[in-house]
Amino acid sequence: MGVTILRIVFVGTFGLQPKGTVSARALPLSQALTREGHAVSVIVPPWDHPADSGREFSIDGVGVVNIRLPRRLPLYYHLAITLRLLRRVLAERPDVVHFFKPKGYAGFAAMLLGLLKALRLSHVRIVVDSDDWEGKGGWNELGGYTWWQRKLFSFQERWGLRHAERVTVSSRALQARVEELGVSRDRIFYLPNGVPTERPSTREGREAIRKQVENTPVILLYTRFFEFSPQRLVEILRLVFGPAPEARLLVVGEGLAGEEEALKQEAIAAGFLGRISFAGWVDSARLGDYFGAADLAIYPMDDTLLNRCKCPVKLVELLGAGLPVVADRVGEAAEYIEPEVSGILVGPGQTQEFAAAVVRLLEDGGLRERLGERARERARAVYSWDKLADIALGAYRG
The predicted pLDDT at position 45 comes to 97
Q: 231 in a domain, yes or no?
A: yes
- Least Cα distance to 159 among 94, 114, 97 occurs for 114
Whether 21 and 85 map to the same domain: the answer is yes
pLDDT of 374 above 50: yes
Q: Are 328 and 308 in contact (CB under 8 A)?
A: no
Domain count, the chain: 2
Q: What percentage of the chain has pLDDT greater than the value 90?
A: 90
The predicted pLDDT at position 134 comes to 95
Cα separation, 326 vs 298, whole angstroms: 5
Q: Are 288 and 200 in contact (CB under 8 A)?
A: yes
Whether 152 and 241 map to the same domain: the answer is no
Q: Which domain holds residue 336?
A: 203-382
Whether 276 and 141 map to the same domain: the answer is no
pLDDT of 390 above 80: yes
Q: 220 in a domain, yes or no?
A: yes
Q: 93 in a domain, yes or no?
A: yes
Mean pLDDT across the chain, nearest whole number? 95
Q: 257 in a domain, yes or no?
A: yes
pLDDT per residue as tens digits for the range 178-220: 999 999 999 999 999 999 988 888 889 999 998 888 778 999 9
pLDDT per residue as tens digits for the range 33-50: 999 999 999 999 999 999
Q: Global pTM?
A: 0.94
The predicted pLDDT at position 298 comes to 98
The predicted pLDDT at position 18 comes to 77
Q: Which residues, 6 or more positions from 155, have their beta carbon under 8 angstroms from its beta carbon?
A: none
Q: 1 in a domain, yes or no?
A: no
Whether 231 and 246 map to the same domain: the answer is yes
The predicted pLDDT at position 3 comes to 65
The predicted pLDDT at position 256 comes to 79
Whether 103 and 237 map to the same domain: the answer is no
Q: Which of 240-249, 255-264, 333-342 has the lowest mean pLDDT?
A: 255-264
Identity of the amino acid at 310 = K
Whether 94 and 126 map to the same domain: the answer is yes
Q: Are 23 and 55 in contact (CB under 8 A)?
A: no
pLDDT per residue as tens digits for the range 250-262: 999 998 778 899 9
- Helix axis angle for 104-118 and 76-91, nearest 10°, is 60
Q: Which residues partner with 65 through β-bridges?
A: 43, 56
Provide the CATH number for the domain around residue 130: 3.40.50.2000
Whether 35 and 115 map to the same domain: the answer is yes
Whether 98 and 135 map to the same domain: the answer is yes
Q: 2 in a domain, yes or no?
A: no
Q: Are 52 and 75 in contact (CB under 8 A)?
A: no
The predicted pLDDT at position 1 comes to 42
What are the contacts of 81-87 at 24+ separation with CB within 8 A? 81/45, 81/47, 81/105, 82/108, 82/109, 82/112, 83/112, 84/45, 85/11, 85/43, 85/45, 85/109, 86/112, 86/113
The predicted pLDDT at position 149 comes to 94
Whether 160 and 288 map to the same domain: the answer is no
pLDDT per residue as tens digits for the range 137-188: 999 998 889 999 999 999 999 999 999 999 999 999 999 999 999 999 999 9
Q: 364 in a domain, yes or no?
A: yes
Whether 288 and 177 map to the same domain: the answer is no
pLDDT per residue as tens digits for the range 294-326: 999 999 999 999 999 999 999 999 999 999 999
The predicted pLDDT at position 21 comes to 79
Mean pLDDT of 121-128: 96
Whether 333 and 370 map to the same domain: the answer is yes
Q: Are 248 and 221 in contact (CB under 8 A)?
A: no
Whether 368 and 388 map to the same domain: the answer is no
